[in-house]
Each structure stands twice: as structure tokens, then as C-alpha cells.
Chain A
């Protein structure tokens, strides 16, 4: 295996809506910032891979237009996933493992503000049995929360505490959209948005993106003093037949965690759990102990740029390793609804 590290990370100041700029204008400064972080230009990058969604952009092959953010010259080798940028990072990691690249630029982005996001996300569902019902993503998440509540795996108060902790942590994150939270008792006094979910249980709707630079071996050491080495990375999927499986667990997370080597001392975990109850499923699946600090950034409950919020988790862990704040961390990204697809990575300093 080739040693591969995250050597640079940049993200937008995530916001509810950026009506005055398009996706290219939104993500270009972030790509530039990630390259500047290691003093690189696009000529130094062997492979570029992005994650975005045509359904959010409202245009077929929208990622091709966004390539303008990388620059029209020189020609580049590039690819794209219609998934969170975390899976674009996985593809870039594979490209490096295959010996086809030593360096890679990865980015993910979306503007969710132009449409009705919970309705747009219904297009992620099974097109025969579920899609024609146009179930909104908040109500779908409620089905999972209800199963946890019914089986006493969580309480509404615990859900509020998770939301509170994440958003309070985000008070220290200048890029977060929701920074700080009302007290738990105040949260619980609110009406349901979509019983059993209250507004605080749901992620914000976000415009934003992020970019990461990957480098192999000596190139990584040349670029930064303390690369954030990807010691393990794996992704798995659970059935999309939500009525056919137990929604209170995500076996795919446990498998990905085992394959990625989640064990031993872990300082920080950044998990991609858009809804409050989902954090408990993710942490259980990862098998994390209580001593692990979870989501010092505030997680997806504090800023949820679709197609980027998972890649941000990798960046947040890597950033802390590169600054020597921590030695070892776990990053988790999810895709689809109800934690259907999951990616887990273990990152470590030298």
C-alpha cells in the first residue's frame, strides 16, 4: 500500500443561501485556498475528483461547468462522483494506490438554497415504491427516529442534548452556519417540526463546499511538516429497502469501521450525522468509547452542505492532526438517507 495523506483543507463559510453567486464562484476560492495551503498550482496535481449532484444544481452534467473553478488550462485528468466528496476522495485514494497519481485535488459542493431541499432529496429514494410518494427527507428521518424512540434506544431529551452539544461546539468554528444553541429545556419546549423531530433535530439547509489536497509518501512530507496519513479507509452500503431492515442500526458502519481499522486510541471523531438521533447510530456503529471527543466542529447539525459535509469531516480531522492538536482521529461520511451508505477513515500523524 502507498502511504497517502491529506495535506491541505479549505472550506467555505457555510451559509443558508448565497443567492448572488453560482457554484463556480462559490467553490473556486476554496480550491485556490487548498492549493495555496501547500504552495501548489493545478500543474502540481495529477488527478482531480469532485462530488456534487445534478439534482441540486438543476442541470445535467453540472460538474463539467464547475470545472471552470479549477481553471481551463492546463488540461487535467479528472473524475466525478454523484455523491459526497468523501467518495471522490476515496476514488482519488484508489488512483494513487493504483500508481496513476502521486497528488490529487478533491472537492465537494452544492447550493441547496434554490430548491425545496427535503422534496429534492426524495429523488434519492427507490423510484418504484417510494419516489412516487414524494416523501420529504425530514419525514423519512422521522421514521428512523421513531423506531429508536419506540425501542428505547434514545429519548427526545437525548436527541436535544446531541443537537445542543454539536451547535455549542460550532460556536468555536468560524465556518459553521449555526453557532450556538438554546438550552436543552428550551429546545424541548418547541413544537414538533415533523413528529417526532423538532427543528433542532434537523440539519440546516446550506450552500457551501470544501476542498482537500492528497499526496503520497515523500511528496506529502515535502509539502507539509505533519501530513494527516490515511491509515485506513473503507465504504459500505445497507439496503435501500427501508421497510426491510432495522433502521436503528447501520451494519455498514460497523463493517467499514472494522475494515478501516477503527480501534485503539482515538482523540477525535468527526461524524456525518445530519439528524440528531443518527449520531447515536453512527457512534455505536463505529464502536467509539465515551472518551472520544465527537464533532468538535459542530458536525452536520451546524452546517450541512450537501455533497460536501462528509468530506468536511475528513478535513476537520486532518486539520487537527496537521496542527499537532491531536494524533489520531476517525472521520465518517454518509450518503443517501437514513445512513444508507457509509465511509469511515482513520487518520494519524507521524
Chain B
């Protein structure tokens, strides 16, 4: 069986792993990402009439291309969440936060994003949240810096 050399004796070196490439985002994802620059959120209508947000290029049931973009709200409800105690490099919120699925007003599906909150006690399924926009927006999902808890209306 494979043996293990005493790890104290091993030479170590950092390895930066990156498979860099640029992508063309196309008419659907591109429209959504461009909308974020203007603080607008777009979904798309699928064959069953549901508004899918963030939008997808193909119908999840029929596989046919779908094209009718529809603007949705910038507030919504948490449909599921988990608590991140230890934020990792790259996450837009570097304090403990919730990872969540959020269904925006006017949409029928949920978006994955982060929710800023003081603790897991403050977060609940069904809680209302609103977008906190990034100060500089460049057409990426991180143009939404995170969501924050909204007061019940």
C-alpha cells in the first residue's frame, strides 16, 4: 500500500492554479449582466409562462430556445439558505454571511447569492431581502454585492 513520507521533510512551493479564458455571454445572459450595470434585473419567460431569473437560454422542459426577457424586482424572498461562518477568498462578503436562494418579486425561480446578516438567527426562509448594489458595476453577477434583509412591508 502507498506509504507516506514524513511530511516535515517535504519541500513545498505555492501553486497558483488558473485556467484563464474569456467568454462571450450571448443575448440572454449578456442582457441580464448588462442590465445589472443599470441596476435592472431581467428574467425570461419559459414555455410554461414562468419567469426564470436569472434567465436561461433554453427552456428547461422542452429544450427550445427562449427569448422573451422580462424585468423583475430588486427585492424578493429567501427560498433556502445556509450560513457561512468562514468566508473564503473571492466571496463578495468577507464577514460571516448566508448563502441563499432568492426569488425576486415577479420571478418564479430563485437566484443564488449572498445575504449579509449579523448572525444565522437573523436569517429565515421566507424573509424579505433587497439587492445591495456594488458601487462599481461592470456587467457581472457581483454587480449585486449581496442582498440585505428588508423590513417587512
Residue contact A243 to B141, C-beta cutoff 8 Å: no
A73 lies within 8 A of chain B by Cβ? no
CB contact between B2 and one of A29, A58, A116, A247 (< 8 Å): that residue: A29
CB contact between B109 and one of A127, A140, A143, A243 (< 8 Å): that residue: A243
Residue contact A134 to B111, C-beta cutoff 8 Å: no
- A242 — which chain B residues lie within 8 A by C-beta? 101, 112
Residue contact A244 to B88, C-beta cutoff 8 Å: no
Complex Cα gap A130–B91 (Å): 11
Residue contact A13 to B1, C-beta cutoff 8 Å: yes
Residue contact A129 to B5, C-beta cutoff 8 Å: no
- Restricting to A1-39, which residues have a CB under 8 Å from any CB of B? 12-13, 15, 17-21, 25-26, 29
- B99 — which chain A residues lie within 8 A by C-beta? 133, 135, 139-140, 142-143
CB contact between B85 and one of A58, A193, A241 (< 8 Å): that residue: A193
Complex Cα gap A244–B54 (Å): 9
Complex Cα gap A33–B1 (Å): 10
B70 lies within 8 A of chain A by Cβ? no
Complex Cα gap A150–B78 (Å): 12
Nearest Cβ on chain B to A76's Cβ, whole angstroms: 22
CB contact between B1 and one of A12, A128, A144 (< 8 Å): that residue: A12
Bitwise, A218-243 to B at CB < 8 A (1) or not (0) is: 00000000000000000000010111
B29 lies within 8 A of chain A by Cβ? yes
B135 lies within 8 A of chain A by Cβ? no
Bitwise, A151-162 to B at CB < 8 A (1) or not (0) is: 000000000000
From known contacts A142-B99, A243-B110, infer whether A133 and B141 are also in contact, taking CB-CB under 8 Å: yes
Q: In the complex, what residue of chain B is closest to A191 when comparing beta carbons?
A: B85
CB contact between A60 and one of B6, B19, B25, B109 (< 8 Å): that residue: B19
B33 lies within 8 A of chain A by Cβ? yes
CB contact between A194 and one of B25, B85, B111, B114 (< 8 Å): that residue: B85
Nearest Cβ on chain A to B66's Cβ, whole angstroms: 12
- B88 — which chain A residues lie within 8 A by C-beta? 116, 118-119, 134, 136
Complex Cα gap A214–B1 (Å): 23
B39 lies within 8 A of chain A by Cβ? no
Complex Cα gap A197–B112 (Å): 18
CB contact between B112 and one of A19, A20, A135 (< 8 Å): that residue: A135
Residue contact B80 to A136, C-beta cutoff 8 Å: no
Bitwise, A31-65 to B at CB < 8 A (1) or not (0) is: 00000000000000000000000110011100000
- A197 — which chain B residues lie within 8 A by C-beta? 82
- Restricting to B57-113, which residues have a CB under 8 Å from any CB of A? 60, 79-85, 88-92, 99-103, 109-113
We find that the number of chain A residues with CB closer than 8 angstroms to chain B is 54
- A20 — which chain B residues lie within 8 A by C-beta? 3-7, 10
Please indicate which of the listed interface residues A135, A138, A145, A193 has the most CB atoms of chain B within 10 Å of its own CB.
A135
Known: A58-B15, A239-B60, A243-B102. 8 other contacts (CB 8 A): A114-B15, A133-B141, A135-B99, A138-B82, A145-B82, A150-B80, A241-B52, A243-B110
Residue contact B2 to A26, C-beta cutoff 8 Å: yes
Q: In the complex, what residue of chain B is closest to A209 when comparing beta carbons?
A: B2
Instruction: Classify chain B's interface size.
Output: 35 or more
Please indicate which of the listed interface residues A140, A242, A243 has the most CB atoms of chain B within 10 Å of its own CB.
A243
From known contacts A147-B80, A194-B84, infer whether A129 and B3 are also in contact, taking CB-CB under 8 Å: no
CB contact between B29 and one of A55, A128, A134, A243 (< 8 Å): that residue: A128
Residue contact A139 to B84, C-beta cutoff 8 Å: yes
Residue contact A195 to B82, C-beta cutoff 8 Å: yes
- A128 — which chain B residues lie within 8 A by C-beta? 23, 25, 29, 33, 54, 141
- A116 — which chain B residues lie within 8 A by C-beta? 88
- A132 — which chain B residues lie within 8 A by C-beta? 90, 140-142
Residue contact B112 to A136, C-beta cutoff 8 Å: no
Complex Cα gap A303–B92 (Å): 32
Complex Cα gap A195–B83 (Å): 5
Nearest Cβ on chain A to B28's Cβ, whole angstroms: 10
- A193 — which chain B residues lie within 8 A by C-beta? 85
Residue contact A133 to B83, C-beta cutoff 8 Å: no
Residue contact B29 to A21, C-beta cutoff 8 Å: no
B125 lies within 8 A of chain A by Cβ? yes
Residue contact A19 to B5, C-beta cutoff 8 Å: yes
Nearest Cβ on chain B to A99's Cβ, whole angstroms: 32
Complex Cα gap A58–B4 (Å): 20
